[in-house]
Structure 1
Amino acid sequence: MTMESHPTPFSSLDDYVALPRVEGLALSPDGQRVVLTVATLTRDQTSYERALWSVAADGTGVPTRLTRSAKGESGAAFTADGDVLFVSTRLDAAADKGADTDAVAAQLWLLPVAGGEARAITRLAGGVSGIAAVASSSSNLVIAAELLPSAADLEAEGAARKERTEKKVAAILHESYPVRFWDHDLGPAEPHLLALDLADLQDTIAPPASASDTVSEADAPAPYPADLPRPRDLTAAPGRTMDTAGQALTPDGSTLIVALRVAEQRSGRYVLASIDVATGTQTTLFDELKVDFEFPAVSLDGRQIAFVRTAVSTPEGPADQELWAADLDGRRPRRLAAEWDRWPTSLVFDADTESNQALIVTADHDGRGPIFRVPLDGGAPEQLTTDDFSYTNVCVDAQTGDLVALRSSWIAPAHPVRIGRSGTVSMLATPAALPEVPGTITEVETVAEDGARVRAWLLLPAGAGQEHPAPLLLWIHGGPLNSWNAWSWRWSPLLALARGYAVLLPDPALSTGYGLDFIARGWNAWGCKPYTDLLAIVDAVEELPEIDETRTAAMGGSFGGYLANWIAGHTDRFRAIVSHASLWSLDQFNGTTDDSQYWQSIFSAQGMIDNSPHQAVREIVTPMLVIHGDHDYRVPIGESLRLWSELAEHHAGVDGSTQHKFLFFPDENHWVLKPQHAVVWYQTVFAFLDQHVHGADWKRPRLLG
């Protein structure tokens, strides 16, 4: 097994999980400062702590750390005055004396631009879920929080939570579907949007407590602090309608544009509504049956809105995602870039430079995630960035029209950059330097049996060549509506590269960034074109002199795990297969996943039968490593339990022995995120691959006992 010529951070799993990670970006109102959220490994190496760092938006200077709390900070945003807002479970000295540090709820904090310590500006019993929207020219903002349905006000809500805690009641009464989401149970609290006016924040010196201040259990609940701005509920008794698909405030903070969920039996649709922040009055702007309106944005002058309109997909085919714009009150709706079949991943209004009104949009495109400028007059989109990166967290500098964003690729984790009006990209300072890479990346493609172009990224380890060809690892993305176009800390092919494997990252049918027809090729037929596309690109890559075609393996997670299972039952060309968080039996999956209606709506009854991997269990001959977390509610653990049971039923020896293995995480979710478990995950995967690809002896990871 070849290794890279000298060690990199990817040579050691411990070094890899210790790399600092840039997770968020916010731009100050004057365009001068960028605040980054940076995650670093804790001393015990079992979690990550997050801090805020400030860097100059023009690329000069060095990063300055702003926060240092043990609990960390996230979700940074700027107020109109330039103060920094963030969410944290750090202790509030004014409220949490003697509190259990593990039970402190997350609150909204403010770090003054003029200097001084951060202070909590909410004290909600259930905490703050996040910052929903901030006005750019007023003191108004909106936060997301969950409140118990029986509580009439904030005081009653706090008392009800206290009683549940004291009585140790964890039961949840559900009166609607769904009941779970990804990795957590829903309820009993329901999502609300709460308005705050920072002008109501007071700086006072509290008088000393007296005996008369002490309340007994029989007294009324403690009042909400008078020196803090009292949150005003914009969505009283909403049920789960505040499971929003995005929201945005007008610059003056008077109007909230929000994509609200309307319940429909087991599912729901998103409608676009306008909420008067002062009164809570709600007006529906756009509502159509079997159509979702999502991701609203408000123009810098507060006069226009933009959003994504998507009809519900059916087994007959995928629906397009359409860009629309309208006046703030919903008048003059118009579709933008009608001939453009790329799907927006984010959108904001461009600065009104020289009256060139446009949206700034990111979208998957040809294995990358560029930034586009989409004119509001219906003209064709202009691609601003043409490099091999994907862009996220895009912010517009209202003064210059320049952009700041995070960008990444498969060889560069997220880092902050500035993009000029012409598309010129320059890097900003960052406390998380880009790590050295143990190999190279190139683009490969082939032609599928139906004539479609199928492309992929190929990563080659150092030293791979005709004299020393590398074993090939086919790595299949999840989704399925996804693309291998951006860095992932959870799925890092560079770790395999450092161990001598070439890694193939293909975008088969159903992948985004190639147009609606390319997605439709695999619709209601997951085991057809997506599978044959993978085999076609593997065939092409195995012809390269740098690849040893006799030593190949396949792996994937989620939908990639589905295809790993499908491959296992339909070909014996791979030496080993790793199946993580995979779909195995579609009839079982579609009723136990957290959003069953969606999955049932995109498959026909026959398609569900024809494309279920479990039908071919008897044909499996390749050794499989099955991996799953018990807190995975998107692809429930029952999928891998049944897969493991049926592998044993059809392929175990009379003594129960088997060539297959099952790695189970009782306290992990769909991704396996805890750093110590990520290390065990990779140790097990590489030991399994080494055994079957290289013929090495099986080496059980030490921490697995």
Structure 2
Amino acid sequence: MKATTPPNRALVTLVTLVTLLVTVGSARSAEPIVTSDLLRLRTASAIDVARDGTTAVFAVRSIHTADTEADDAAMPEHRSQSHIFAADLSTTPARVRQLTRGDRVDRGPRLSPDGRHVAFVRNGGHDDDDPAGARVWVMPLDGGEAWPTAPLPHGASGPTWSPDGRWLLVSSPLPLDEIDATPPWVADPAYATPADATPRPDGTRQEIRRWLADNARREDPVVINRLDFQDERRLSGPMRLRQLYRIDPHDTAATPVQLTSVAKDHRDAVFMPDGRSLLYHAKRQTGAHPDEVLATSLWQVDADGGNAREVLAIDGFALRGPEVSADGSVVAFLARALDEPAHRPYRLGVAPWTADTLGEPMWLTGEATLDASVRSFQWLPARSALVFNVARQGGFPLMTMGLGLLEPADLVSEIDGAQAGIHAYGVGGGTVVYAVTTVEQPCVIRVRDARSDRVVLDLNEWVQEKEIARPRSGWITRPDGRRVQYWVMEPTRRRPDERVPVALEIHGGPSAMWGPGELTMWHEFQLLCSWGYGVVYANPRGSGGYGYDFQRANYQDWGDGPAGDVLAVLDQVSLEDWVDSDQLVVTGGSYGGYLTAWIVAHDQRFRAAVAQRGVYDLTTFYGEGNAWQLVEWSMGGPPWDVRVRPVLQRESPLTSINRIRTPLLILHASNDLRTGVSQSEMLYRGLRRLGRPVEYVRYPDAGHDLSRSGAPHQRMDRLNRIVEWFERHVDNARPAPTLDRMRSWAPEPSEAATEEATPLGPATPPGSG
């Protein structure tokens, strides 16, 4: 007798087959992430929302490919640009307009109090243009051309409207010899400049000094007499200190009014609600050089520039970023304890404002309430509450807290169940507009108000046509009881029973934190998965986002402890049957470059490694990098301290260079003054002298931030060099992720594939409504 299939079983089989065909078809039609997708990424920053919550403005960064007649078609010119956009939030969907265009960098938009104009800062066509050329422009929102405000000799930035919209407050960095007041530390003969002498190379002592001073002012040569003499990509040159100016936003010919002329930086200045005075933060007056002072306090100055006075100082703390409540009764601010600057989080504080003075401050966050570092905050006027952004367990949520001192509450922490990374936001009325990164969306702008939480603008709709790898989160417990969070991403189009190579990615900082909403790594992680690599990343001890104790756990222990954490995570992931434990690679940048070198000097499991812009000798880092204070803060003191010397030697990867046998690619930018190229060159030369497999790549005219904001062709070169180095040393059967080659790489139908209906194509974008 012939067996028959029960009707319900036949139906299940048919549904399963249809699901499989749709899944495979989706996988075949979706495109892989490729290196050049970097050129398509658009991101948002500096969101500002009108007082009534009906309009938002923001800056959008994109990459433009210039039309050139270059002989080599493979080397077109790519330029980063930034333009101002506006969104009408009163309609659903929101109506979004691009306000500025062209080969330029427009940034930091701020809406006027009546919502009719937007002020912004315009540079030339490059991020690294001379800041002295930066100028504040104003543009009507209802149409019309933008116009420049009056120029300042050293540029202008940070425009802030007065409450009545009559003035703009800006800051400008003035050379020390253009500042009227003479601070105590200028008594140092190195600062003496005889103003009344005629500059002569063969004159009197005073004339020669004037001649030398004029040369130094032209930075030919650069004369250094500061402790902090390095910027990110160049020497600092003559000292410049930010002063405050009031400018007329509607009259280009009006002369700017200088409000301060004191030998200190004036930062984060805001108007009081009555418009009669300003608040800002500045270094405390101790008589010492500003480079030697970490403590900052809150100051007030009259709107016409007179009567500057300190209004709040807390011993042992650095205060910054004052913001005043709508009724002027409370000032909120950020503060960090200075006993352990490398490990203490920024906390949010408030203080009552009465009779032109600030009362006793209260802490809204801290180890007792919210043991996480507050990154920024804004007032939510409709509720007399604060909205703030924190780093917390791999996410960057928005939180809120009223002045009733209840516990902070999440405002936005997930999008459709996925952990979110909010990297910009603005508040107006009862409306919050924010830019968020999720797994499926590198950058989308959303609005949250009394009606709903909805999409304003998806800046990267092209991602919907791409294959996306999705991370899974996990935790491990280390022998000392510390719990370490990690994520693992399987490669796209992994065939059933296929074992693949895995890349261990390590973040910088060391106090940085990664998670699924990390905008800066979205493309790199997805690219590696497209090439057929699994990706594993973790937040080892010393990372932010897990409280003070966890962040301090790497004190005098940059190597063994954090390395043990990430390797234990890799051990855990390697238990999964899709991981080829003989095909492991590792990479990281900055502190991640340090830990990459440390790991391959102490562990031989990796087939290849890429150390990027790292620190490998902590003693020389003290003099070479502008982050030199990390040596004192994290290692216990300066290199000449006899108690610290053995710590620096023990914690420097260069000390164990003779143990490195893993093929190592070293990447560094020539103008990187955060870590300095000699770090990489010592590592390279030592390995070359030992006859080990090593290659060294230097990127000309680039800085420490190459991977995030460098020249687009260098960013693509970096990505391809990392992948190509891995490909040299692992056995990867996956073809390169170009569309024509990947069409034949869809998963084969199998029993295993039909058991779980896991979509292989792009998911519906979250929050599409």
Q: TM-score, normalised by structure 2?
A: 0.77
Aligned-partner Cα distance in 1 for 2:685–2:145:
57
How far, CA to CA, are the matches of 1:232 and 1:681 in structure 2? 46
SS state at 2:454 partner:
strand
Give CA-to-partner distance per residue, 1:639-694, whole Å, 9 cap, x none.
Answer: 11111111122x21xxxxx5211111121111221101011111111110011122
Q: Residues 384 and 421 (structure 1 numbering): CA distance in 2 closer, same or farther, change over 3 Å?
A: farther
Alignment partner of 2:656: what SS? helix
Give the Cα–Cα distance (whole angstroms) in 1 for the partners of residues 214 and 96 of structure 2.
44
Counterpart selection for 1:75 from 108, 115, 135:
108
Match of 2:248 in 1: 198
Q: Give 1:216's aligned residue.
A: none
Whole-angstrom distance in 2 between the partners of 1:689 and 1:567: 17
CA spacing shift, 1:251–1:103, aligned 2, 3 Å: closer
Partner of 2:236: 186
- The answer to whether 1:660 aligns with 2:694 is yes
Residue of structure 1 in register with 2:151 after alignment:
123
Query: Out of 170, 194, 208, which is 1:143 matched to?
Result: 170
The residue number in structure 1 matching 2:664 is 624
- How far 1:542 moved relative to its partner? 0.9
Q: Distance in 2 between matches of 1:116 and 1:85?
A: 14
Cα offset, 1:277, TM superposition: 2.2
- Give the length in aligned residue pairs: 637
1:642 aligns with 682
For 2:239 and 2:592, the matched residues in 1 are separated by 34
Identity of aligned residues (%): 22
Would you say the 8 A contact 2:132–2:154 is kept in 1?
no
Q: Which of 377, 384, 391 is the equivalent residue of 2:422? A: 391
1:570, CA displacement in angstroms? 0.7
Deviation, 1:410, is: 4.6
* Aligned ranges 1:552-563 → 2 under 5 Å: 552-563=584-595
Report whether the alignment pairs 1:43 with 2:58: no
Q: For each residue in 1:154-191, what CA deviation from the matched residue of structure 2 results, as whole angstroms up to 9, or x when unmatched? A: xx9xxx9xx989x9764444443211122233243613
Aligned to 2:573, the other structure's residue is in SS state: helix
Superposition pairs of residues 558-637 of structure 1, within 5 angstroms: 558-604=590-636, 605=644, 606-637=646-677
Aligned to 1:16: 38
Q: Distance in 2 between matches of 1:411 and 1:487?
A: 12
Aligned partner (choices 47, 65, 68) of residue 98 of structure 2: 65
The one-letter code matched in structure 2 to 1:345 is: R
Name 1:28's counterpart in structure 2.
50
Take 1:136 and 1:667, find their aligned partners in 2: how far apart are those partners?
Answer: 42
CA distance in structure 2 between the aligned counterparts of 1:337 and 1:23, rounded to whole angstroms: 25
Q: Indicate yes or no: 2:484 matched with 1:444.
A: no
Q: 1:174 to 1:382 in 2, by over 3 A?
A: same
Distance in 2, matches of 1:421 and 1:523, equals 46
* Aligned counterpart, 1:106: 134
Contact 2:88-2:94 at 8 Å conserved across structures: yes
Aligned 8 A contact 1:457 1:506 in 2: yes
For residues 524 and 476 of structure 2, what CA distance do their matches in structure 1 show?
24
Name the SS for the 1:180 alignment partner.
coil
What whole-Å deviation, never above 9, does each CA across 1:328-355 have from its counterpart, x for those lacking one?
Answer: 32213112244121110111122243xx
Judged with a 3 Å threshold, the aligned counterparts in structure 2 of structure 1 residues 252 and 34 are, in CA distance, closer, same or farther, namely same
Q: 2:328: which partner in 1?
A: 302
Q: 1:465 to 1:272 in 2, by over 3 A?
A: farther
1:118 Cα offset (Å)? 0.6
State which of 425, 428, 432 in structure 2 corresponds to 1:403: 432
Equivalent runs, 1:182-581 vs 2, <5 Å = 182-188=232-238, 190-198=240-248, 201-202=250-251, 227-238=252-263, 240-242=264-266, 244=267, 246-262=268-284, 263=289, 266-314=292-340, 318-328=343-353, 329-338=357-366, 339=368, 340-353=370-383, 357-387=384-414, 388-398=419-429, 401-420=430-449, 425-433=453-461, 435=463, 436-464=466-494, 467-485=497-515, 486-489=517-520, 492-581=524-613
User: 1:134: which partner in 2?
Assistant: 161
Query: 1:690 aligned to 2:706?
Result: no
SS in 2 for 1:347: strand
Shift of 1:488: 3.1
**Gaps (5+ residues) in structure 1?**
92-100, 203-226, 653-657, 700-705
Q: How far 1:8 moved relative to its partner? A: 6.3
Greater share of helix: 2
Matched residue, 2:123:
89
Report the AA paired with residue 583 of structure 1: V
Tell me which residue corresponds to 1:177: 227
Residues 182-217 of structure 1, C-alpha deviations (whole Å, 9 max, x = no match): 223324361323332537x33xxxxxxxxxxxxxxx
Q: 1:285 to 1:434 in 2, by over 3 A?
A: farther
- Alignment partners' CA distance in 2, 1:403 and 1:265: 37
Report the RMSD for the aligned CA atoms in angstroms. 3.1
Residue among 702, 705, 708 paired with 1:671? 705
Amino acid of the residue matched to residue 230 of structure 2?
R
Distance 1:429 1:482, change over 3 A: same
Query: Helix, strand or coil: the match of 1:617?
Result: helix
Q: Against the structure 1 CA distance between its residues 421 and 36, is the aligned structure 2 distance closer, same or farther, given a 3 Å change threshold?
A: same
Q: Amino acid of the residue matched to residue 403 of structure 2?
A: L
Q: State the one-letter code of the partner of 2:421.
A: S
In the alignment, is the contact (CA less than 8 A) between 1:396 and 1:403 conserved in 2? yes
**CA distances 1:538-587 after superposition (whole Å, capped 9, x unpaired):** 11111112322221111000011111011011100111111001010011
Cα 1:103–1:305 change in 2 (3 A) is closer
Letter in 1 for 2:431: D
Can you give the 5+ residue segments of structure 2 that lack an aligned partner in the other structure?
1-25, 67-76, 181-194, 196-209, 637-643, 737-769
TM-score for the superposition, normalised by structure 1: 0.84
Q: In the superposition, relative to structure 1, how do residues 535 and 465 fare at CA in structure 2: closer, same or farther (>3 Å)?
A: farther
SS in 1 for 2:543: coil
Q: How far 1:521 moved relative to its partner?
A: 1.9
For residues 236 and 78 of structure 2, what CA distance do their matches in structure 1 show? 26
**Structure 1 residue 408, shift from structure 2 partner:** 1.1
Q: 1:314 Cα deviation (Å)?
A: 3.9
In 1, the alpha carbon distance for the partners of 2:29 and 2:39 equals 15
Structure 2: which amino acid aligns with 1:665? Answer: Y
- Write out per-residue CA displacement over residues 279-303 of structure 1, whole angstroms, 9 at most, x where no aligned residue: 2432112334542112322212222
Find the structure with the greater CA-based Rg. Answer: 2
Q: 2-side partners of 1:469 and 1:667: how far apart?
A: 41
Which amino acid counterpart does residue 35 of structure 2 have in structure 1? L
- In structure 2, what residue type is equivalent to 1:13? T
Shift of 1:434: 5.9
Say which SS state the counterpart of residue 429 (structure 1) adopts: strand
AA matched with 2:392: H
Q: CA deviation at 1:150?
A: 2.9
Residue 47 of structure 1 and its aligned partner are, at CA, apart by 1.8
For 2:674 and 2:703, how far apart are their aligned partners in 1?
9
SS, match of residue 594 in structure 2: helix
TM-superposition CA deviations, 1:241-277 (whole Å, max 9, x none): 34x4x34332343332222134456453222222222
